[in-house]
Amino acid sequence: MLSPLEAAKQTAAHKAINKHVENNFVLGIGSGSTIVYAVERLAERVAKENLEVVCIPTSFQAKQLIVKHGLKLGSLDTHPILDVCIDGADEVDANLNIIKGGGACLLEEKIIASCANGLVIIADYTKNSTKLGDQYKKGIPIEVVPMSYVPVRNKIRNTFGGEVNLRMAVAKAGPVITDNGNFILDWVNFKQLDDWKEVNTAIRMIPGVVETGLFLQMAKIVYFGQADGTIKEQTAKDGH
């Protein structure tokens, strides 16, 4: 028996797989805990409906999930254009600005999403926010080249305020190392900023920054699973 939170993740995940997956599709498979339910449902549909789908992983975790469920594994080398990418999120604001990277997979997640004809986000009700930072307090993740983390940290702090922390590993001494061998900085306690696009561009211009966890105008639809078993849908207002 799943908790209301886990059930909400599962409901959103199943909806996305049921609605956005077709035969012969090339699919991006996101990372995190919600995507686990999506891959389970995908494996069910593939078996029952004899679907031919190729799955492109956004992380080591996603690759393991694809392999575990016996799904066909692909890469951008063989499939540079995806029909859809399905992924989780840490927070989604009213304008579909999204924070991702809670699992430190933001770089590959953003690359894969950028190659897909649509990004579909699956999330539980705790991720639904009005403004970034309202709900999610762990900050905006920024992937950096290890040698650059101190100057990048200082530059972000001095330019935009807030605090910038090196993400530390839990079962290892030292920092989290991403699947690409980089560090993660988490930018917390930032003030509300009007133009996230501008902020994102400015941060990405700092030498040493590889990518940010700000996914702006990328998602075409978000499914928020609710505690009562229903789903709230949020789509891009400008139809991007």
Ligand X SMILES: O=C(CO)[C@H](O)[C@H](O)COP(=O)(O)O
Structure tokens at 212: 């940010």
Q: Does position 102 bind ligand X by CB under 6 A?
A: yes
Q: Which of 101, 133, 139, 225 binds ligand X (CB under 6 A)?
A: 101
Minimal CB distance residue for ligand X: 32
Report the nearest approach of ligand X to the CB of residue 28 (Å).
12
Beta strand extents in the chain (DSSP E only)? 26-29, 54-57, 72-73, 84-87, 91-92, 98-99, 119-124, 140-144, 163-166, 183-188, 209-212, 214-215, 219-225, 231-235
Identify which range of 74-82, 97-105, 194-202, 218-226 contacts ligand X by CB under 6 A: 97-105
- Give the three-state DSSP class for 45: helix
- Judged on CB neighbours under 10 Å (0-12, 13-18, 19+), 145 is middle
Residues 17-56 as x/- pattern, contact with ligand X by CB under 6 A = -------------xxxxx----------------------
Q: Is 109 a catalytic site residue?
A: yes
Q: Which tokens in the block code for residue 32?
A: 């995190």
Q: By rule CB under 6 A, what string of x and - marks binding of each residue 61-90 to ligand X?
A: --------------------------xxxx
- Cα separation of 153 and 148, whole Å? 8
Chain residues in the site for ligand X (CB under 6 A): 30-34, 87-90, 100-106, 109
Indicate which residues carry an active-site annotation: 109
